[in-house]
């Protein structure tokens, strides 16, 4: 029988579990142990989001040296979508199909479980891309790179906030339910605190609008999910991530004079 893992190894295993779930980064080390670390890996979601943002910000600097900013924005949006395997965009599309269907709770949940994209889902994803594109294209290059750093960071924090505020809606469980634990509220508080601190250091003039926008979209979307579905699902957690990224981009664009 192998010796128990020490604390440092456990933390690294939980970080790798979060990376494998939230990104396409090929980390194979002890992937077979992921099922034991799903709930504990939740605390590393903001760190993974920050790494995605840091990679995107660096990529943005490179792209801006080669292409006009509108082209760089499109390529960055493709990066943000595909680095996570379009996981959150799929959740947004499915959530739109279910939540906007005006069907009863159980039927809405069945619609969201269908892998096929409906008209509402497609339109919502297109509108979200247009909103991100418009906001990012309006920014000076330095602000654009900074916004890219914070968008994935805030989006993964929003997932924790949603989990802290909503129970899991599906009685039969699901992928999102694997990450629920008694520490969800603590993880969400620490995630929000980390986001506030990093904003205060790197973008102090934008900290209040970004946090206010993030909390507002989280509160309103969670309230809608509670009323329509009775809680959260894996799809709605992906949706709140995408919506929060968009709100961060808009908040940065709205504070260009700061």
Those residues with Cβ within 8 angstroms of residue 94's Cβ, 6 or more apart along the chain or in another chain? 111, 112, 113, 114, 117, 121, 235, 239
The mean pLDDT of the chain is 89
In percent, the amount of the chain with pLDDT more than 70 equals 94
On the question of pLDDT at 250 being above 90, the answer is yes
Average the pLDDT over each of 2-11, 15-24, 92-101, 198-207 and give the range with the smallest value. 2-11
Q: What is the pTM of this model?
A: 0.91
Identify the pLDDT of residue 37: 74
Q: Once rounded to an integer, what is the mean pLDDT over residues 161-183?
A: 77
Q: Is the pLDDT of residue 63 over 70?
A: yes
Does the pLDDT at position 42 exceed 70? yes
Kind and range of the H or E run holding 184:
helix 184-202
Confidence at residue 2, expressed as pLDDT on a 0 to 100 scale: 45
Average pLDDT of the residues in 151-163: 95
User: Which residues are paired to 232 by β-bridges?
Assistant: 168
- At 181, the pLDDT band (50, 70, 90 cuts) reads confident
Decide if pLDDT at 222 tops 60: yes
Q: What does the block give as tokens for 101?
A: 């269907």
**Tokens 């339910």 correspond to what residue?**
177
Nearest to 232 by CA among 164, 184, 181: 164
């Amino acid at each position: 029988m192998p010796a128990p893992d020490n604390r440092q190894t456990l933390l690294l295993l939980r970080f790798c579990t979060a990376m494998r779930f939230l990104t396409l980064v090929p980390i194979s080390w002890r992937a077979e142990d992921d099922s034991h670390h799903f709930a504990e890996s939740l605390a590393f979601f903001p760190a993974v989001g920050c790494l995605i943002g840091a990679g995107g910000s660096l990529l943005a600097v490179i792209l801006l040296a080669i292409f006009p900013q509108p082209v760089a924005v499109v390529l960055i949006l493709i990066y943000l979508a595909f680095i996570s395997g379009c996981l959150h965009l799929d959740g947004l599309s499915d959530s739109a199909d279910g939540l906007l269907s005006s069907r009863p709770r159980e039927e809405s949940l069945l619609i969201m479980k269908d892998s096929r994209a409906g008209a509402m889902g497609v339109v919502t994803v297109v509108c979200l891309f247009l909103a991100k594109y418009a906001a990012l294209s309006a920014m000076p290059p330095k602000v654009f790179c900074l916004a890219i750093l914070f968008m994935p960071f805030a989006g993964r924090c929003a997932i924790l906030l949603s989990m802290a505020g909503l129970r899991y809606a599906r009685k039969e469980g699901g992928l999102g339910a694997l990450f629920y634990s008694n520490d969800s509220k603590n993880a969400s508080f620490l995630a929000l605190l980390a986001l506030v601190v990093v904003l205060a250091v790197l973008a102090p003039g934008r900290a209040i609008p970004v946090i206010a926008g993030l909390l507002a979209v989280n509160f309103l979307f969670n309230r809608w999910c509670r009323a329509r579905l009775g809680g959260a699902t894996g799809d709605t957690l992906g949706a709140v991530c995408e919506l929060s990224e968009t709100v961060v981009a808009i908040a940065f664009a709205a504070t260009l004079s700061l």
